[in-house]
Amino acid sequence: MSASPEAGKNTRTRLPGSIWALGFVSMFMDVSSEMIHALLPVFLVSVLGASTVMVGIVEGLGEATASVTKLFSGWLSDRFGKRKFLTVLGYSLGALSKPLFAVAPSAPWVLFARFSDRVGKGIRGAPRDALVSDLAPAGLRGAAFGLRQSLDTVGAFVGPLLAIGLMALFANDFRLVFWIAVVPGLAAVAILIFGVREGGNIPRQQAARFPLRRRELQRLGSLYWGVVAVGGVLTLARFSEAFLVLRAADFGLTPALVPLVLVVMNLVYAGSAYPAGVLSDRLGRQRILAGGFVVLIAADVVLATATNLWVVMGGVALWGLHMGMTQGLLAALVAETSPANARGTAFGLFHLITGAVLLLASVIAGMLWDLLGASATFWGGAIFTGIGLIGLGIVAYRKR
């Protein structure tokens, strides 16, 4: 795993236009989604009179739906040998769900809108990542996934900032802001339809059945499952960013400024993901990924031992750097360790497993916080990251 296995065969030095277009598709849709999601809990409680239990149901059902749907849509894209149609379908459903938030008269209506939005995310997730892999030159896969991750993360901090600014401009008119959020969503679909081509002829996965049988899982290979294991341990170590917000609040960050935690994290994340991908194409995935593990350990130590808000924000920045150094590279490794006509399934499984592990990680982090204090949560994260670093070394040794 010290280098892309096909790096030496690549003669291209630039990414295809379709890769750039897919990056901007992700960015515009994320702007649209985050403009709504940043305001949705408050809208549910203060405008529609929903309980906090309903807020939890809306968020939990939405994310669970997305994780399960990714697996099915990834398998379906392998089954028919086509990625773009499902990607367009998923983004279109996400865009068309946005007006439902603006006209919602009650909490169940919002629940349906959120469900539709997350189904769209699930449908497009695995086929889109498989499409990136199909389109990217073999020696530039790190750059391709890094670029998509960078642009996607730009949307993750631009969306909330736009929501804050528009709420101030329009006197807290939630529904008007939700209507404005429709525009970047539709722009994403238009770019996808007219700016992205299919990734070539992919052999159909005729034998695969759903639900997946042991034979299909074994066919993905031990190297792929090693990557999944490493990604799972890393996810166990990088629990929900909500704990970064809580740590900053411990040191006096006011509620009005709480979004700055995620803005700082995503700024560093967006700025580092593409360079990390480019470096991984040149220096090898293992070195950059291992560096990302070390940076996460440093972030955990800083957050565990912080004495003031400035130190906490430094830890938040390191957290964003580790995300930039790991998330795109893990996607590139999934692409490189799975068969070409099973990549959709491979990405779907990866997203499903890491999504489930993230839920478990957040529960463990919360228990450590309640029982032993905030520092214990981050010390625990550092220990899990160290285990993941050992696992990464084992996978790299087996690949060599």
DSSP 143-191: HHHHHHHHHHHHHHHHHHHHHHHHHHHTTS-HHHHHHHHHHHHHHHHHH
Q: Is residue 73 part of a domain?
A: yes
Give the pLDDT confidence of 323-364 residue by residue, as tens digits.
999 888 888 888 888 877 777 888 888 888 887 777 777 778
Q: What is the pLDDT of residue 322?
A: 92
CB atoms within 10 A of CB 92: 19
* Structure token digits, residue 278: 């480019």
* Structure token digits, residue 36: 């709504």
Q: Is residue 311 part of a domain?
A: yes
For the domain that residue 351 is a member of, what is the CATH number? 1.20.1250.20
User: Is the same domain home to 145 and 240?
Assistant: no
User: Is the same domain home to 287 and 192?
Assistant: no
CB atoms within 10 A of CB 256: 8
Of 49-58, 105-114, 126-135, 380-389, which range is least confident? 49-58
* Structure token digits, residue 218: 């074994």
CB atoms within 10 A of CB 85: 13
The residue type found at 251 is F
Question: Domain range spanning residue 271?
Answer: 220-400
Q: Is residue 15 part of a domain?
A: no
User: Is the same domain home to 176 and 228?
Assistant: no
User: Is the same domain home to 176 and 233?
Assistant: no
CB of 127 closer than 8 Å to CB of 83? yes
Under the banding of pLDDT at 50, 70 and 90, the label for residue 3 is very low
User: Is the same domain home to 301 and 355?
Assistant: yes
User: Is the same domain home to 179 and 297?
Assistant: no
Q: Is residue 150 part of a domain?
A: yes
User: Is the same domain home to 123 and 245?
Assistant: no
User: Is the same domain home to 138 and 257?
Assistant: no
pTM value? 0.73
User: Is the same domain home to 251 and 320?
Assistant: yes
User: Is the same domain home to 158 and 267?
Assistant: no
Q: What is the number of H-type helices and E-type strands within the chain?
A: 15, 0
Torsion angle of the four alpha carbons 372, 373, 375, 380, in this order, in degrees rounded to the nearest 10: 40
Q: Percent of the chain, pLDDT > 70?
A: 83
Query: Taking 70 as the threshold, does the pLDDT of residue 397 lie above it?
Result: no
User: Is the same domain home to 191 and 129?
Assistant: yes
Q: Is residue 10 part of a domain?
A: no
Q: What is the pLDDT of residue 99?
A: 93
Q: Is residue 233 part of a domain?
A: yes
Q: How far apart are CA 80 and CA 69, in angstroms?
A: 17
Give the pLDDT confidence of 194-244 residue by residue, as tens digits.
998 886 655 555 445 544 566 666 677 778 888 888 888 887 777 767 678
CB of 35 closer than 8 Å to CB of 177? yes
- Where helices occur in 306-342 by DSSP H, the ranges are 309-337
For the chain, the domain total comes to: 2
